[in-house]
């Protein structure tokens, strides 16, 4: 193996360094093709040889898609370009969505020695993230941290929001960010010329281009779309003076709660008072004070109780939904979101589907219980009421109906639903407090399990059944030192999938040793 003198290894052709390799990773439908077209036109108009490729096909239906461009100064001989990006060999990576930026890093297209990563920080959630009954949203902070390490330069901003603000789409703002990055040897004017040459929607595109350019330069803080910080101060309510005085007294009691519980109680109070009235708020406060009296530093129990008792007391009954649907604030909010401007009008259609359970729940406690126990009556109620109803809340009849229902708060405390909810709440709190003396952490975890109860009709029933099964599981391990840990695991498992398969698995594990 020594006869290679004729083929002495030479140095790499210096011209190879002139090839600029640019990849675009987008979600199908984002306009990656338009962006690619602009970049191509830009390169060719400025004396570069350029080649673009894409992978079309079904991936363009909302799936992850790749576009790839290579360019170098044109000469009388054609260069040989590659048709696909190679790991470790990409100069500019444009990711039109945050997780796609993550995918480009996984695929090795972003390397610290050469890659400028331009990424939009907005999220287009994948189906797998949306389906989870709990919080299945992928961790954006991890991707942002990895991007800082993997990229030579990292330019990030919410280019989708910037585009929307300027009446255009993300391809234009990303093109602006590319210009601002100065990673291509062309001036800003040349970029704008490419948009003009494209000829479609030139004005909005140019506006969005400029906004994207500025956003990239401003180095917009990489605000991860994660859990926002709660607002610093609760906004003051409006209302009759007498009620405001009562409110002050209640918040005073809330502020007297220990540690972080005070802040949570403020939000909780707002919720229960909105749900019912000041007296109901006082009940909430009394429950909390009872718990705080038995709590100790760092008062996690009181804080969690402040959160979950408020949620439990503000259950989703017909009255609450009707009230929320008829509030003036809601009408204003929707008008704002839909961008309704004079003289445009807004029609509002609600999708309601009452069942016998909801009707029975509205009846007085004893009567409701009898009706609910009678299959004949339930079938009758279903026949009368169980039907999808589309009602126009911008119309007087439907609005009036919901307005009346929403005004039935005086009636609410007598209803079957209220009695059931309160019984469930008392039982749950009693169970948590029962663990308090032997296992503080377990008591806190039991309080947190209230998170499992949510949704309406079947979903609500499934939540209740998961809650019950988690409670059973907890009872099995209550005597163990790591009971709190198991309780947390059971709750998290219950939030993973709809049918509760993960929960069944976790329960089976517990039964194997308990």
Partner 1 sequence: MAERSFKAEVQHLRKGEGDTFTGEGILAITKALLENGVGYVGGYQGAPISHLMDVLADAQDLLGELGVRFEANANEAAAAAMLAASVHYPIRGAVTFKGPVGVNVASDALANLSSSGVTGGALIILGEDYGEGSSIMQERSHAFAMKSQFWLLDPRPNLPSIVKAVGDGFALSEASNSPVMLMVRIRSCHVTGSFPTRNNQRPKETVREALSNPRSDFARVVLPPMSYVHEQDKVKNRWPAAEKFILDNRLNEMFGNGGKVGIVCQGGMYNGVIRALQRLGLADIHGATQVPIYCLNVTYPLIAKEFLCFAEGKEHILVVEEGQPEFIEQTLATYLYRAESRVRLHGKDILPMAGEYTGAVMLQGLEAFLRKAAPDMLPATVRAPNMDRPAVPDLTKTVPIRPPGFCTGCPERPIFAAMKLVQKDLGKHQISADIGCHLFGSLPPFEIGGATMGFGLGPAANGAFDGGGEKRPISIIGDGGFWHSGLSSSMTNMVYNKSDGVVMVVDNFYTAATGGQDVMSSRAENATKATQHPIAKAMQGVGVEWVRQVDRTYDVPKLRKVLHEALTTDAKGPKVIIASSECMLNKQRREKPLRQQAIKEGRRVEAPRFGVDEDVCTGDHACMRLSGCPSLSLKVLDDPLRDDPVAAIDHTCVGCGNCGEVADAAVLCPSFYRADVVHNPGPVERWWAGVRGRIITWLQARRAARRLEFGA
Nearer to partner 1, 166 or 510 (CB): 166
Strands 92-95 and 64-73: unpaired
Total residue count of the chain as it appears in this document: 514
Residue with tokens 């209302």: 239
Tokens at 279, concatenated: 């007296």
Greatest distance between any 2 Cα atoms in the chain: 102
Only one of the segments 214-222, 225-233, 376-384, 474-482 lies at the binding site for partner 1 (rule: CB under 8 A); that segment is 225-233
Dist. CA 402–CA 408, nearest whole Å: 10
128 scored as a contact of partner 1 (CB under 8 A): yes
For residue 107, the tally of other CB atoms under 10 A from its CB is 16
221 scored as a contact of partner 1 (CB under 8 A): no
239 scored as a contact of partner 1 (CB under 8 A): yes
Distances (CA, A) of 355 to 323, 360, 364, 387, 388: 19, 9, 17, 8, 9
Tell me which residues in 271-310 interact with partner 1 (CB under 8 A): 271, 273-274, 277-278, 307, 310
Contact mark string toward partner 1, 165..204, x via CB under 8 A: ----------------------------------------
50 scored as a contact of partner 1 (CB under 8 A): yes
Nearer to partner 1, 13 or 437 (CB): 13
91, 158, 192, 263: residue in contact with partner 1 (rule CB under 8 A): 263
Q: In this structure, are residues 81 and 22 in contact, taking their beta carbons and an 8 Å threshold? A: no
Only one of the segments 84-92, 172-180, 417-425, 469-477 lies at the binding site for partner 1 (rule: CB under 8 A); that segment is 84-92
The edge-to-edge listing of strands for the beta sheet with 64-73 is 48-54, 64-73, 20-27, 92-95, 116-120, 153-157
377 scored as a contact of partner 1 (CB under 8 A): no
Q: In this structure, are residues 33 and 54 in contact, taking their beta carbons and an 8 Å threshold? A: yes
454, 465, 476, 514: residue in contact with partner 1 (rule CB under 8 A): 454
DSSP, res 507: H
**Which element (helix H / strand E) includes 71?**
strand 64-73
375 scored as a contact of partner 1 (CB under 8 A): no
325 scored as a contact of partner 1 (CB under 8 A): yes
Only one of the segments 11-19, 179-187, 206-214, 375-383 lies at the binding site for partner 1 (rule: CB under 8 A); that segment is 11-19
- Rounded to 5°, angle at Cα 124 from 118 and 128: 125
List Cβ neighbours of 91 (8 Å cut-off, separation of 6 or more): 20, 21, 22, 114, 115, 116, 183
Write down the least CB distance from residue 277 to partner 1, Å. 7
Write down the least CB distance from residue 313 to partner 1, Å. 11
Write down the least CB distance from residue 102 to partner 1, Å. 4
Q: In this structure, are residues 470 and 488 in contact, taking their beta carbons and an 8 Å threshold? A: no
Contact mark string toward partner 1, 89..118, x via CB under 8 A: x---------xx-xx-xx-x-xxxx-----
Nearer to partner 1, 130 or 513 (CB): 130
Nearer to partner 1, 238 or 512 (CB): 238
């Amino acid at each position: 193996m020594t006869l290679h003198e004729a083929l002495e290894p030479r140095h790499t052709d210096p011209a190879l360094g002139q090839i600029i390799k640019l990849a675009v990773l987008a979600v199908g439908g984002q306009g990656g093709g338009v962006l690619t077209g602009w970049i191509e036109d830009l390169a060719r108009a400025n004396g570069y040889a350029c080649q673009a490729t894409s992978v079309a096909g079904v991936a363009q239906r909302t799936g992850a898609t790749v576009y790839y461009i290579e360019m170098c100064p044109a000469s009388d001989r054609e260069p040989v370009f590659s048709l696909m990006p190679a790991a470790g060999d990409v100069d500019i990576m444009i990711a039109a969505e945050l997780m796609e930026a993550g995918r480009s890093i996984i695929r090795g297209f972003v390397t610290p020695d050469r890659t400028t990563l331009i990424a939009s920080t907005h999220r287009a959630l994948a189906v797998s993230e949306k389906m989870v009954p709990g919080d299945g949203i992928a961790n954006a902070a991890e991707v942002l941290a990895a991007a800082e390490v993997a990229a030579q330069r990292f330019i990030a901003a919410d280019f989708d929001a910037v585009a929307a603000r300027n009446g255009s789409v993300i391809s234009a703002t990303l093109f602006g960010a590319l210009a601002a990055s100065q990673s291509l040897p062309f001036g800003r004017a040349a970029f704008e010329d490419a948009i003009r040459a494209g000829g479609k929607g030139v004005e909005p595109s140019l506006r969005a281009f400029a906004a994207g350019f500025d956003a990239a330069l401003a180095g917009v803080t990489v605000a991860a779309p994660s859990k926002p910080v709660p607002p610093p101060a609760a906004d003051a309510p409006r209302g009759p003076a007498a009620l405001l005085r009562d409110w002050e007294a209640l918040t005073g009691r809330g502020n007297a709660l220990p540690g972080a519980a005070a802040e949570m109680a403020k939000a909780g109070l707002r919720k229960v008072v909105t749900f019912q009235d000041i007296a109901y708020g006082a009940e909430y406060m009394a429950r909390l004070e009872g718990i705080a009296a038995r709590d100790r530093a760092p008062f996690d129990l009181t804080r969690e109780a402040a959160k979950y008792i408020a949620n439990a007391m503000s259950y989703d009954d017909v009255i609450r939904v009707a009230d929320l649907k008829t509030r003036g604030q809601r009408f204003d909010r929707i008008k704002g979101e839909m961008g309704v401007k004079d003289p445009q009008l807004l029609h509002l259609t609600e999708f309601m589907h009452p069942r016998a359970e909801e009707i029975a729940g509205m009846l007085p406690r004893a009567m409701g219980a009898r009706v609910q126990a009678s299959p004949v009556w339930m079938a009758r109620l279903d026949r009368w009421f169980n039907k999808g109803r589309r009602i126009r809340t911008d119309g007087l009849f439907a609005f009036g109906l919901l307005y009346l229902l929403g005004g039935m708060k005086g009636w609410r405390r007598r209803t079957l639903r209220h009695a059931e909810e309160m019984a469930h709440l008392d039982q749950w709190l009693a169970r948590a407090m029962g663990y308090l003396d032997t296992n503080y952490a377990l008591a806190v975890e039991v309080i947190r399990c209230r998170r499992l109860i949510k949704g309406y009709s079947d979903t609500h029933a499934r939540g209740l059944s998961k809650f019950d099964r988690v409670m059973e599981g907890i009872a099995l391990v209550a005597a163990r030192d790591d009971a709190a840990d198991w309780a947390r695991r059971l709750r998290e498992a219950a939030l993973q999938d709809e049918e509760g398969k993960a929960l069944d698995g976790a329960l089976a594990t517990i039964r194997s040793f308990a």
